[in-house]
Amino acid sequence: AQSVAQPEDQVNVAEGNPLTVKCTYSVSGNPYLFWYVQYPNRGLQFLLKYITGDNLVKGSYGFEAEFNKSQTSFHLKKPSALVSDSALYFCAVRAPANQAGTALIFGKGTTLSVSS
């Protein structure tokens, strides 16, 4: 069965410092991996995805993520955090394209708090 784990409920960083939000996954075959961000009373916004290719993927708002197949991880990173990055972040996985269902399996979310 597919699953996603976000081991930290909350991550606190100071503005200007680098940030990392952790994600590990379990899926058979080659995974499709995603990061979404959710602001209060708003839907999820797509940040970035890994399908194949370079293990370091770049996304919106200066975020990037590193795919590590041996550690089954897909950690979200940003070199310099902004107060406006404070939000709820979700990691998600879906089965490879050869399977009929393409729904996302989400982690429970990690709240990022950036202090000024």
Partner 1 sequence: EAGVAQSPRYKIIEKRQSVAFWCNPISGHATLYWYQQILGQGPKLLIQFQNNGVVDDSQLPKDRFSAERLKGVDSTLKIQPAKLEDSAVYLCASSYGPEQYFGPGTRLTVT
Least distance to partner 1, CB of residue 104, Å: 6
Measured distance CA(88)–CA(96) in Å, rounded: 26
- Identify the residue among 49, 64, 82, 86 touching partner 1 (CB under 8 A): 49
Task: Please tell me whether residue 40 binds partner 1 under the rule CB under 8 A.
Answer: no
Six-digit token pair at 38?
């959710």
First to last CA, the chain: 41
- Range 38-70 burial, b when 16+ CB lie within 10 A, else e: eeeeeebeebbbbeeeeeebebeeebbbbbeee
If binding is defined by CB under 8 A, does position 11 make contact with partner 1?
Answer: no
When asked if residue 107 is in the footprint of partner 1 (CB under 8 A), the reply is yes
- Residue 1 binds partner 1 (CB under 8 A): no
**Which residues here bind partner 1, judged by CB under 8 A?**
4, 32, 34, 36, 41-46, 49, 51, 90, 92, 94, 97, 100-104, 106-109
